[in-house]
Amino acid sequence: MASQPTRSFATTGIQRRAAQSQIVGEDRGVCDAPSRTPWRPVPEGSIRAATYEGLLAGQMRTKWLLGDVLCILSPNTIHYPAVFLGATLNGGIVSLANPAYNADEFEHIVRNSGATWIAVGAGLEKTALEVAQRVGNIKEIFLFEGQVEGCSLFQELLDDTGDQYVPHTQVDPIKDVVVLPYSSGTTGLPKGVMVTHRNLAAAFMQFRDPRTLGLDGNDVMMLFLPFFHSLGFIMMFSSLINDYKAVMLPRFIPDLFLKVIQEHKVSCMAVVPPVVLFLAQSPAVDKYDLTSLRRMYCAAAPLSADVQEAVIKRLGGSLELCQGYGMTESVACISLCSQENKLGSIGQLSGYMELKIVDVETREPLGPNQEGEICINGPQITPGYYKNQKATDETFAADGWLKTGDVGYFDDEGFLYIVDRLKELIKYKGLQVAPAELEGLLLQHEDIIDAAVVGKKHDRYGELPTAFVVKKPGSQVTAEDVQHFIASKVSNHKHLHGGVVFMEAIPKNASGKILRKDIKKMAEQL
């Protein structure tokens, strides 16, 4: 298909963008992997090279059938694409979990997804085994590294040649779910986003479009964003489907991060605002040669123009820093913009997408330069939330449009801008924190009678979860007590990093809904 520019329709408020290549997945699944792709895993404390082959091991092809669910609980590992491709080839589903989850949080993912297998990274065996005992229906736990009683060795699956494998499942790419990432919501517990084979194939083709990444065979990509997150997951597979060389880190480790860029001549990577700020401000950056970097894609939260300019100036004027916009519900990329376009904009529509701005009250489409809720449509838009029809109906319109919960507008040239969020989600270091989840936990404290949690803006981390609390009369509970209470129940990104504020009453409207805008104003004055 020939390239077509974005077109703005002032009368309807709808933008559409075609793509340069046809969408795959109309009549098949997504598991057509290259036979070999060069990957270099870089574990903490060491650097070693490896060629990744045998992605579809024989035992893995036959173990999971249509609808079977395997959950991955692991930091980034070279085994991630292997277990995904092997488990999904015959119609299995892979559920993705944050390795920072404690046992209670992970149990919710396992129960909600219906997982009966778990693949676990080193050091997380205790969590997996504890949850398996609680749930009671886990058939097998596969350990990526090491050997622990009660866990099978993942390497044994890879060692099988697969000579006896015969495909025997017909996947419906339109209806069948292939991956189940979890997205936090204002109602509290994370929700499973049903990504079908067609959704994922469309996203893959979006990243094959030269306009999306702008890379070639000489580029070296760094993978360090968490693979359980939609952006990290898509970038991982972009390296596979485009046959890019890739260097993988288990997570962001500042000194190792800089060392790897220098030694492996990394030229491109996806980042989040805290990493961009680190590159702009950290004295450690001056110790390394980062001139190989030519393209960075920043997403998860807005990036200020000042920070954009600072990092480009420090790393060299030839660096292209692209801001992107996406959601788990859209399988990552909605729009992308480089610094050569308009600072402050999150870009123009990516391939295959439709966008409209609607009035928040009337739901009528708006024209250019009019603020309203951003709504999107296209083959990447997922069908909804797993086992949660109520949340699906609230977020997805019957005609397929996804209500993003973000307020924004597009200008006369089709550039998109985000102004505010209708959603109440807090974004700390690019990770979602649901206020309702923390509020529910706070109300379990014997000395707390009411609570509200909001995000307080922070230059480096995006937003800091901050609690406003009403304590029982005569209670001696301290802010530190409340912070420790929450820290004992949730993973680090959900901790009350913004602190705890005691007040006489939580501001609410006549119907009892928390007035979060008023509380956010209070938080910004702290």
Q: Write the pLDDT tens digit of every residue in 334-355.
A: 887 765 567 778 888 887 889 9
Check: CB of residue 191 under 8 Å from CB of residue 329.
no
Range of the domain at 460: 426-524
% of the chain surpassing 90 pLDDT? 48
**Maximum Cα interatomic distance, the chain, rounded to a whole number of Å:** 72
What is the rounded distance in angstroms from the CA atom of residue 55 to the CA atom of residue 60? 10
Whether 19 and 41 map to the same domain: the answer is: no
Whether 162 and 233 map to the same domain: the answer is: no
Whether 75 and 103 map to the same domain: the answer is: yes
Whether 301 and 408 map to the same domain: the answer is: yes
Whether 400 and 445 map to the same domain: the answer is: no
Check: CB of residue 483 under 8 Å from CB of residue 391.
no
Is residue 266 a part of any domain in this protein? yes
Instruction: Give mean pLDDT, residues 243-260.
Output: 91
For β-strands 500-502 and 462-471, DSSP reports them as parallel
Lowest mean pLDDT among 72-86, 272-286, 324-338: 324-338
Whether 162 and 251 map to the same domain: the answer is: no
Q: Is the dihedral of CA 167, 169, 174, 178 positive or negative?
A: negative
Whether 415 and 435 map to the same domain: the answer is: no
The pLDDT, as a whole number, for residue 160 is: 65
Q: How confident is the model at residue 65 (pLDDT cuts 50, 70, 90)?
A: confident
Whether 410 and 508 map to the same domain: the answer is: no
Whether 414 and 439 map to the same domain: the answer is: no
What is the rounded distance in angstroms from the CA atom of residue 526 to the CA atom of residue 523? 5
Whether 403 and 432 map to the same domain: the answer is: no
The tally of domains found in the chain comes to 3
Is residue 246 a part of any domain in this protein? yes
Whether 15 and 65 map to the same domain: the answer is: no
Is residue 317 a part of any domain in this protein? yes
Phi and psi at 234, nearest 5°, equal -65, -40
Residue 98's nearest CA partner among 196, 189, 200 is 189
% of the chain surpassing 70 pLDDT? 83
CATH number at residue 62: 3.40.50.980
CATH number at residue 506: 3.30.300.30
Is residue 435 a part of any domain in this protein? yes
* Residue that wins the pLDDT comparison between 176 and 323: 176
Last residue of a domain, one of 137, 172, 207: 172
pLDDT above 80: residue 14: no
For 264, 274, 301, 321, 428, the CA distances from 461, given in Å and listed in that order, are 28, 6, 10, 19, 6
| Long-range Cβ contact pairs of 133-137 (< 8 A, separation 24 or more) | 134/103, 134/107, 135/107, 135/110, 135/111
Lowest mean pLDDT among 63-67, 184-188, 218-222, 264-268: 184-188
Instruction: Give mean pLDDT, residues 472-480.
Output: 94
Whether 415 and 285 map to the same domain: the answer is: yes
For β-strands 188-192 and 182-185, DSSP reports them as antiparallel
